[in-house]
Chain A
Amino acid sequence: MSTATAAALQQVLQGGTVNAPDINQLVQAFQGAYLVNGPLVQVQTQIITTTAATVTFSNIPQFNNLFLAWSARSTNASATVNLLARINGDSSANYFDARVFGFNSGANSDFTSGGTAMRLGEIAAASAAGAANVGGGFAVIPAWGQTANQLTGFSISGYAVNVGATGSAAEAYTFSYGVTPSTNSSLTLLPSAGSFAGTVAPCEFTLYGSM
């Protein structure tokens, strides 16, 4: 617990007033204490109802494990696009991923080597038949707070867009961030083309963490 947090706690115990930033520190301190026992906690939820090129979670605590759930749609003039992620705002060619997917009656696989972002999933886009069509998924990033290991993880993703032969798919990804390990503090999400179409379908992203 920091000196400022301890001072704020002392003020509370003495019946004094505490300003908002100190209350935030106290909440985080108690969350941190609670997290020692390892439950999954919701860090932030962001629901985009405008058009957003990127959504970034910054100042992410150094959880042992990080989890992301999403439901999103892109403005791009295609049936689907990929949901991509970047670590610490790095847009250099440092990302790797592989995908296996079942698509309508077929199945396939592909990979990205040295991409400028890593694929987490696939989401519906502007050519999808229904305005409510989106893509949803869940990503797991183990050892987020481990600065000795390269960041790697996996995700599962699905969409249903009802356009011609582009019906639905279930997909599984592995991904990694191929740089010398350091402190991971932010996660940026973006479509592979277009922007998040929050004005068409609310795009929701929720970050969870566990110690």
Chain B
Amino acid sequence: MSEQNPFHVTVDCSSGEVLMVQLSDEEVTVMASAAQAHNDERAAREAAKAEAVAAIKASKDPAIKGIAHLLGLQ
């Protein structure tokens, strides 16, 4: 276990006591994997959004151009 590993912090609202338990290396590995998946998903979502915006901007369809104008994309 590294000194850098994060903690689980629990505040007991009855007694006011604070309990800090450091995460194991295995838990940190799981967290890092989850964070990577989270970041990948977010990047994919933002890329899809950028692609959709680019397609709207490139469209010659007057209706889509009108919607793009309303959305402030042109």
Interface size in chain B (residues, C-beta < 8 A): 25
- Report whether A193 and B9 are in contact in the complex, using a CB–CB cutoff of 8 Å: no
Residues of A within 8 A of B16 (CB): 24, 44
- Report whether A193 and B6 are in contact in the complex, using a CB–CB cutoff of 8 Å: no
- Report whether A51 and B13 are in contact in the complex, using a CB–CB cutoff of 8 Å: no
Residues of B within 8 A of A81 (CB): 38
- Report whether A61 and B13 are in contact in the complex, using a CB–CB cutoff of 8 Å: yes
A108 CA to B44 CA, complexed, in Å: 17
Distance of B12 from chain A, by nearest CB (Å):
5
A52 CA to B14 CA, complexed, in Å: 21
A56 CA to B11 CA, complexed, in Å: 6
Distance of A188 from chain B, by nearest CB (Å):
9
B14 touches which one: A54, A56, A59 (CB < 8 A)? A59
B interface, by DSSP: helix, strand, loop or mixed?
A: mixed
Q: A98 an interface residue at 8 Å Cβ cutoff?
A: no
A195 CA to B72 CA, complexed, in Å: 36
Residues of B within 8 A of A207 (CB): 13
Residues of A within 8 A of B31 (CB): 53, 194-195
- Report whether B7 and A56 are in contact in the complex, using a CB–CB cutoff of 8 Å: no
A56 touches which one: B5, B6, B8, B42 (CB < 8 A)? B8
A193 touches which one: B7, B38, B71 (CB < 8 A)? B38
A60 CA to B6 CA, complexed, in Å: 24
Once A57-B13, A59-B12 are accepted as A-B contacts, the answer to whether A50 and B7 lie under 8 Å apart by CB is yes
- Report whether B13 and A46 are in contact in the complex, using a CB–CB cutoff of 8 Å: no
Q: B23 an interface residue at 8 Å Cβ cutoff?
A: yes
- Report whether A55 and B11 are in contact in the complex, using a CB–CB cutoff of 8 Å: yes
Q: B59 an interface residue at 8 Å Cβ cutoff?
A: no
A129 CA to B17 CA, complexed, in Å: 35
Distance of B70 from chain A, by nearest CB (Å):
12
- Report whether B12 and A193 are in contact in the complex, using a CB–CB cutoff of 8 Å: no
A195 CA to B9 CA, complexed, in Å: 11
- Report whether B38 and A54 are in contact in the complex, using a CB–CB cutoff of 8 Å: no
Q: CB-defined interface of A70-113 with B at 8 Å, one 1/0 digit per residue?
A: 00000111100100000000000000000000000110000000
The 6 lowest CB-CB distance pairs between A and B, nearest first, are: A193-B38, A59-B14, A195-B6, A193-B35, A51-B6, A53-B6
**Can you list 6 residue pairs at the A/B interface with Cβ under 8 Å?**
A21-B15, A43-B13, A53-B27, A60-B13, A106-B71, A195-B6
